[in-house]
Amino acid sequence: MLLSHSPNQNHLLAALPTADFERIAAHLELVAMPLGKYLYEPDEQLWHAYFPTTAIVSLHYVTESGASAETAGVGNEGVVGIALFMGGDTTPSSAMVQTAGHAYRLESSLLKQEFNRAGLMQSLLLRYTQALMTQMSLTAACNRHHSIEQRLCRWLLLTLDRVPSQELVITQEQIAIMLGVRREGITEAAGNLQRAGNIHYRRGHITVLDRSGLEASVCECYGVVKKEFDRLLCDVQYRT
C-alpha cells in the first residue's frame, strides 16, 4: 500500500503492448477504493471501468428481501465494468469494494474505443470475461452442493491469491454476506479452521497460517476456477 502505484500492478493493463498502453496511459486515473464503496448499483449507468491493483471488488446480487450472494470477485487480475464493452452498459448486479486498496479507472468511452480497435485489448477483455463466466458458473454449482466450510476455504484462497500478504482485513459478517449465509455459520466454520491451525482470527483480521490446510479442505471449485484463469490469461506477455 505504501509503495508507489503503477498500472502494471493490474495484470490486464500490464499485458497490453506498449503502443496500446501508451494510448490510454494518460487517461488512467488512480482512485482510492475504500471498504464498502459501491462502484455501481443495480441498473445504474456506469461511467468508468476500474482496473484494481490492490483493491478487491465483489460482484454480487441482492435479492428483494435483502439477502445477497457474491457471484464473482475481481482483483488485480481483472476489471470491473464488463457491461461497458459487452454492450449492455448496466447490470442488475452490484459491485462493492470488499478489500480496500486502489484501482486505476478509465472513462467508459475510452474503454469502448480501445475495445473496438479489435486489438489485444479486446482479446484480453474477452478472455477475462470468459474466465469471469466460469467463476459465476462454478459459484452457482458450489452454492448448491458444497458446505459453508468448503465455500469459506474457496473464498479465502481466491482472495488470498489477489493480495500480497497473508492477512485479510474483513469481518465475519462481511464474509457471510459474500457467501450468502448467516454470520454464525462463518463463526462456526472459521472456528473449525482456527482450531485446525489453518487460520488465526482477530476482530476483523484473518491471518492464513497454513495455506495447504485450506487447500485440503476446499472443494474442487477453487482449483477449477484458478486453472481456468491461468489457462485463459497465461499466454500474455507482461511489460516491465
Partner DNA sequence: TTGCCTATGTTCGGTACCGCACAGACATAG
Partner DNA sequence: CTATGTCTGTGCGGTACCGAACATAGGCAA
Residue numbers at the binding site for its own copies (CB under 8 A): 59-61, 63-65, 67-69, 71-72, 82-83, 85-88, 91-93, 116, 118, 123, 126-127, 129-134, 136-141, 143-145, 180-181, 219-220, 224, 227-228, 231-232
Nearer to DNA, 32 or 169 (CB): 169
Whole-angstrom Cα distance, residue 110 to residue 183? 41
Nearer to DNA, 112 or 146 (CB): 146
The sign of the dihedral angle between the CA atoms of 104, 108, 110, 115 is positive
C-alpha cell at 3: 509503495
Name every residue whose Cβ is closer than 8 Å to that of residue 226 and which is 6 or more positions away in sequence: 158, 161
Q: Which of its own copies, DNA, none has residue 164 at its interface (CB below 5 to 8 Å by kind)?
A: none
Q: How far is the CB of 125 from its own copies (least distance, A)?
A: 10
List of residues contacting DNA (CB under 7 A)? 147-149, 171-173, 180-185, 187-188, 190-191, 194, 201-204
Residue 206 grid coordinates: 484473518
53 binds, among DNA, its own copies, none (CB under 5 to 8 A by kind): none
Minimum CB distance to DNA smaller for 135 or for 172: 172
Nearer to its own copies, 91 or 98 (CB): 91
Q: How far is CA 165 from CA 54, 140, 206, in A?
A: 11, 29, 11
Helices (H), the chain: 11-14, 18-25, 82-86, 108-115, 120-145, 148-160, 172-179, 183-195, 211-217, 220-233
